[in-house]
């Protein structure tokens, strides 16, 4: 008799990798990228809206003018000239900043990861909206932090619920390391935090000595170009600000950043150097030249028009097609609509059927660290053109109508 060890390194893995397993849902997504499936799943920016001639000229210009340095290592904090341009982006987003405050990262995702590495010991509590950004859930989970969700409504995170969570933690002698929040056009819920609530959240943060991580990928993608005051602008000493060029220029260049108070910034630079020495100089030069020589705000405007049209297509079709008992957020910007299903339906269990009907979405459980979200799901309107979005919603609606009948027959009307 022979025992067969498929992974001889099993006993060597760190305990933090224990939750990393193959998943049925991920396997289902292997077919979601096929062309015949309308994918309302991925949050991919519509990069076809970029001016490729301009991008080509910018890139060629970088090589012609700065080839040797662009192809060399760079500093851990990021290219100084780029940090100056990122300050312009932050100004457009409504936050005053200095280039010295910023650390350039590999997309906003690396900023989130470094923040987790800096603050989270195993068992630490971090607070986040429920639902929250799946990339943040994964990053903080890798540091074995426990994410506690704060519920939201149409005005965003509910301040009273935040205070309640903090009191409950204090009552058990625990404290949250920070609140992670996406106040503008949140991924996945598609709602924005109202101005009054921004002030309330910050008051609570001061009262409880709570650090706030503000992630703002969609701030400039408001359909009416409205800029809501970022938390960082209201409380610079309390808030770490995570920014990115992924949604306003390109996710492929992997340029994000974090703005942090000085002592935190210094530690983030050391962590960045330990992670990957430095940001790619080449893409930093391209980003710097894009922001410095191109009408980038006009590009943002072009993106905004594309996404507004797609969002309208999605919302219109949802209203016309979905069965009673469904409800959804009505975003005023960003990429996402959050859909709540009638009682008894499970978005995870339903995915296989939806894929057979050739439409894909992301089941709600992906956006909670605590296993909730079965009755919810996320729809993205950023990538497919409007007519495909409408077709996708019709396919989804047919699946939902059938499922409502099935569930009613199985459970009764109770």
Task: Quote the least distance from Cβ 214 to other proteins, whole Å.
Answer: 35
Task: Select from 34, 175, 207, 401 the one that contacts other proteins (CB under 8 A).
Answer: 34
Q: Is 414 in the site for other proteins (CB under 8 A)?
A: no
Alpha helices by DSSP H, listed for 94-180, are 107-119, 134-142, 159-171
Pick out residues in 66-85 that bind other proteins (CB under 8 A): none
The piece of 133-141, 228-236, 345-353, 382-390 that touches other proteins (CB under 8 A) is 345-353
Q: Is 12 in the site for other proteins (CB under 8 A)?
A: no
Smallest CA-to-CA distance from 314 within 389, 383, 384, 376 is with 389
Task: Select from 16, 349, 370, 401 the one that contacts other proteins (CB under 8 A).
Answer: 349
Q: Is 38 in the site for other proteins (CB under 8 A)?
A: no
Smallest CA-to-CA distance from 220 within 374, 93, 339 is with 93
Pick out residues in 175-194 that bind other proteins (CB under 8 A): none
Task: Quote the least distance from Cβ 19 to other proteins, whole Å.
Answer: 11
The piece of 28-36, 38-46, 215-223, 310-318 that touches other proteins (CB under 8 A) is 28-36
Q: What are residue 149's DSSP bridge partners?
A: 128
CA–CA gap between residue 54 and residue 184 (Å, rounded) = 29
Local structure of residue 321 (DSSP, 8 states): H
* Bond from prior residue into 52 cis (ω within 30 degrees of 0): no
* Bond from prior residue into 188 cis (ω within 30 degrees of 0): yes
The pattern of x and - marking residues 292 through 321 that bind other proteins according to CB under 8 A reads: ------------------------------
The pattern of x and - marking residues 41 through 60 that bind other proteins according to CB under 8 A reads: --------------------
Contact by Cβ (8 Å): 221, 303: yes
Instruction: List Cα–Cα distances, 211 to 126, 176, 205, 239, 314, in angstroms.
Output: 10, 9, 7, 6, 36
Q: Is 209 in the site for other proteins (CB under 8 A)?
A: no
Task: Select from 14, 30, 64, 171 the one that contacts other proteins (CB under 8 A).
Answer: 30
Task: Quote the least distance from Cβ 71 to other proteins, whole Å.
Answer: 35
User: Which C-beta is closer to other proteins: that of 41 or that of 220?
Assistant: 41
CA–CA gap between residue 25 and residue 133 (Å, rounded) = 17
Q: Is 14 in the site for other proteins (CB under 8 A)?
A: no
CA–CA gap between residue 119 and residue 247 (Å, rounded) = 27
Q: Is 346 in the site for other proteins (CB under 8 A)?
A: yes
Long-range pairs of 258-262 with CB within 8 A, sequence gap ≥ 24? 258/102, 258/103, 258/105, 258/111, 258/114, 258/115, 259/90, 259/95, 259/97, 259/101, 259/102, 259/232, 260/101, 260/103, 261/101, 261/236, 261/237, 262/100, 262/101
Task: Select from 171, 237, 409, 413 the one that contacts other proteins (CB under 8 A).
Answer: 409
Contact by Cβ (8 Å): 215, 242: yes
Smallest CA-to-CA distance from 205 within 136, 274, 157, 269 is with 157
Q: Is 410 in the site for other proteins (CB under 8 A)?
A: yes
User: Which C-beta is closer to other proteins: that of 200 or that of 403?
Assistant: 403
User: Which C-beta is closer to other proteins: that of 22 or that of 171?
Assistant: 22
Task: Select from 97, 286, 351, 397 the one that contacts other proteins (CB under 8 A).
Answer: 351
Q: Is 1 in the site for other proteins (CB under 8 A)?
A: yes
Summarize as ranges the residues that interact with other proteins (CB under 8 A): 1-7, 9-10, 21-24, 27-28, 30-31, 34, 346, 349-353, 355, 402-403, 405-407, 409-412
């Amino acid at each position: 008799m022979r025992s067969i060890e498929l992974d001889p390194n099993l006993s060597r893995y760190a305990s933090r990798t224990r939750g990393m397993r193959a998943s049925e849902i991920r396997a289902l997504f292997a077919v979601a990228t096929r062309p015949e499936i309308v994918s309302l799943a991925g949050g991919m920016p519509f990069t076809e809206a970029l001016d490729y001639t301009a991008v080509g000229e910018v890139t060629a210009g970088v090589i012609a003018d700065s080839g040797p340095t662009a192809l060399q290592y760079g500093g851990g904090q990021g290219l100084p000239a780029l940090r100056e341009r990122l300050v312009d982006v932050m100004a457009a987003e409504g936050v005053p900043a200095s280039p010295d405050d910023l650390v350039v990262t590999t997309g906003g995702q690396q900023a989130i990861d470094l923040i987790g590495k800096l603050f989270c010991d195993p068992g630490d509590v971090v607070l986040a909206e429920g639902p929250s950004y799946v990339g943040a859930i994964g990053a903080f989970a890798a540091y074995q932090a426990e994410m506690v969700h704060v519920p939201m409504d149409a005005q965003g995170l509910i301040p009273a619920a935040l205070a309640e969570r903090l009191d409950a933690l204090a009552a058990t002698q625990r404290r949250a390391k920070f609140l992670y929040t996406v106040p503008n056009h949140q991924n996945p819920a598609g709602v924005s935090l109202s101005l009054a609530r921004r002030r309330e959240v910050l008051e609570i943060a001061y009262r409880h000595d709570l650090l706030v991580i503000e992630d703002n990928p969609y701030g400039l993608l408001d359909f009416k170009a409205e800029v809501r005051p970022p938390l960082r602008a209201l409380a610079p000493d309390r808030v770490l600000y995570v920014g990115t060029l992924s949604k306003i220029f390109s996710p492929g260049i992997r340029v994000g950043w974090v703005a942090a108070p000085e002592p935190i910034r210094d530690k983030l630079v050391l962590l960045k150097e330990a992670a990957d020495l430095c940001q790619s100089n080449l893409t930093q030069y391209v980003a710097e030249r894009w922001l410095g020589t191109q009408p980038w705000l006009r590009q943002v405007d072009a993106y905004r028009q594309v996404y507004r049209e797609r969002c309208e297509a999605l919302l219109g079709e949802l209203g016309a097609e979905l069965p009673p008992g469904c409800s959804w957020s009505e975003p005023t910007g960003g990429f996402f609509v959050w859909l709540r299903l009638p009682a008894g339906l499970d978005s995870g269990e339903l995915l296989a059927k939806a894929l057979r009907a050739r439409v894909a979405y992301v089941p709600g459980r992906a956006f909670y660290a605590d296993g909730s979200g079965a009755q919810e799901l996320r729809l993205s309107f950023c990538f497919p053109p409007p007519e495909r979005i409408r077709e996708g919603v019709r396919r989804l609606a047919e699946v939902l109508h059938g499922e409502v009948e099935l569930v009613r027959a199985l459970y009764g009307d109770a």
